[in-house]
C-alpha cells in the first residue's frame, strides 16, 4: 500500500489532527472537509501523510498486534464508518483509516523490537535518519493480508511486513549494527582444553566428532528474541554473535534459528533445523545480566571450549548452524 501525493493540500498539522481522529472516532471535522471527495487517493493525498504521520508514536487504545511469527510482523488497524454520508464513501474512509491505524501500529511494533542486548529499533529511529527512512518505506509497503467490515460499522485491516530478507526489518537492523564490517572468525578454544579433549577422543571413538551444529538449550529462561543474540561463556568470552556471521546470511536467515514450542522443537529432534541431524546440545548457565534486553546466553567455560573445539573439526559455525531453544 502506497500513499500518493495528488496535491490535495493537507498540512502536517492537519494530518496529525484529522487522520488520528478519523482513525479512531470518525471525527466530523474530517468528514466535513472531505465529504465531496470520492476516491481513496482524494481522501488521503498529501505527501505529509507519508512523511510525517506514519512515524507518529500515538496509537489506538484498542490496538491489537502480533509479532510472534518467525518471518513477519503483523498489526491490526481499525476504522469506523462515519454517519451521514453514502455507504460507499463511508466504507472507503473507514477502510483508509484502518490502513493508517495498522501502519501506525506496525511502527510501534518495530520500534519496540530488540536489536541486541543494549538497543532496540527505537534507538536507531531516534538517532538515524537513514533508519527512519527505511522503516517508513517498509511500513508504507506493508501488505494487507485480511480485511473485514463487521455489523457494527467497524472496519478491520490486518497488515504485515517481512521480518527477514532484503528490504525487511532485519535488513535495517543488521545494517545498523554492523555496517560494512566483514565477519570475523569465532575465537579459538583454550589449547590446554583441546589437548585433553583430543586425547579423550583418541581413546573413545564415540566421544564427540561429527556434529552438524549446536543447539543452545535456553528453555524456560525467559530469553528475549532479537536480531543480534550472542553466546558468551562464564568468563565473559564472546563465543558467537553478529560479528561472526556474514551480513547477507544474517539479513535473510537470522544470526540463529529460534525454536519455540513443541512444533519447532520437533524439527530439532527430527534433524530438520539449522543444527542438522547430529547437533551438539548445550544447556545454558543463564542469561547475561545488567543489559537492557536479556537476549544473550551464557554457557560454561568448558562447554564453550568443547563447542569451539568441535567447530574446528566440523566447521558448523562457519555455516551458522546454531539454534536457540526457548
Instruction: Give the model confidence (pLDDT) of 215-251 as tens digits.
Output: 999 999 999 999 999 999 999 999 999 999 999 999 9
Distance of CA 114 to the CA centre of its chain: 8
Whether this prediction's pTM lies above 0.85 is answered by: no
C-alpha cell at 44: 488521503
In this prediction, residue 16 carries a pLDDT of 42
Q: Where are the domains of the chain?
A: 12-174, 182-325
- pLDDT-derived band of residue 208, with 50, 70 and 90 as boundaries? low
Number of H helices, E strands in the chain: 13, 12
The model's pLDDT over 151-198, given as tens digits with 9 standing for 90+, comes to 888 999 999 999 999 999 999 999 999 999 999 999 999 999 999 988
At residue 4, does pLDDT exceed 80?
no
In this prediction, residue 33 carries a pLDDT of 44
Q: What percent of the chain has pLDDT over 90?
A: 65
Sheet holding 231-233, edge to edge: 238-240, 231-233, 297-299, 286-287
In this prediction, residue 70 carries a pLDDT of 52
Encode 85-154 in three state secondary structure: CCHHHHHHHHHHHHHHHHHHHHHHHHHCCECCCCCEHHHHHHHCHHHHHHHHHHHHCCEEEEEEECCCCE
Amino acid at each position: 500500500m502506497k500513499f500518493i501525493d495528488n496535491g490535495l493540500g493537507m498540512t502536517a498539522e492537519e494530518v496529525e489532527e484529522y487522520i488520528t481522529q478519523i482513525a479512531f472516532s470518525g471525527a466530523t471535522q474530517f468528514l466535513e472537509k472531505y465529504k465531496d471527495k470520492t476516491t481513496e487517493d482524494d481522501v488521503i493525498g498529501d505527501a505529509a501523510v507519508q512523511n510525517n504521520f506514519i512515524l507518529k508514536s500515538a496509537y489506538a487504545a484498542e490496538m491489537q498486534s502480533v509479532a510472534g511469527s518467525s518471518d513477519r510482523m503483523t498489526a491490526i488497524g481499525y476504522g469506523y464508518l462515519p454517519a451521514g454520508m453514502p455507504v460507499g464513501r463511508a466504507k472507503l474512509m473507514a477502510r483508509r483509516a484502518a490502513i493508517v491505524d495498522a501502519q501506525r501500529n506496525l511502527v510501534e511494533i518495530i520500534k519496540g523490537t530488540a536489536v541486541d542486548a543494549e538497543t532496540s529499533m527505537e534507538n536507531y529511529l531516534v538517532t538515524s535518519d537513514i533508519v527512519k527512512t527505511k522503516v517508513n518505506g517498509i511500513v508504507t509497503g506493508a501488505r494487507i493480508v485480511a480485511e473485514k467490515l463487521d455489523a457494527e460499522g467497524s472496519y478491520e485491516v490486518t497488515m504485515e511486513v517481512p521480518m527477514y530478507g532484503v528490504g525487511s526489518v532485519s535488513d535495517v537492523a543488521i545494517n545498523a549494527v554492523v555496517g560494512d564490517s566483514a565477519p570475523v572468525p569465532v575465537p579459538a578454544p583454550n589449547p590446554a582444553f583441546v589437548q585433553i579433549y583430543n586425547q579423550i577422543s583418541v581413546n573413545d571413538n564415540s566421544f564427540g566428532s561429527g556434529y552438524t551444529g549446536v543447539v543452545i538449550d535456553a528453555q524456560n529462561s525467559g530469553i528475549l528474541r532479537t536480531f543480534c543474540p550472542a553466546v558468551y561463556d562464564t568468563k565473559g568470552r564472546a563465543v558467537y554473535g553478529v560479528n561472526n556471521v556474514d551480513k547477507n546470511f544474517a539479513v535473510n536467515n537470522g544470526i540463529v534459528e529460534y525454536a519455540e514450542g513443541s512444533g519447532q522443537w520437533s524439527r530439532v529432534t527430527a534433524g530438520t533445523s539449522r543444527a542438522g541431524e547430529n547437533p551438539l546440545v548445550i544447556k545454558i548457565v543463564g542469561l547475561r545480566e545488567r543489559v537492557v534486553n536479556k537476549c544473550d546466553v551464557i554457557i560454561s567455560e568448558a562447554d564453550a571450549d568443547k563447542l569451539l573445539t568441535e567447530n574446528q573439526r566440523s566447521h558448523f559455525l562457519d555455516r551458522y548452524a546454531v539454534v536457540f531453544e526457548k
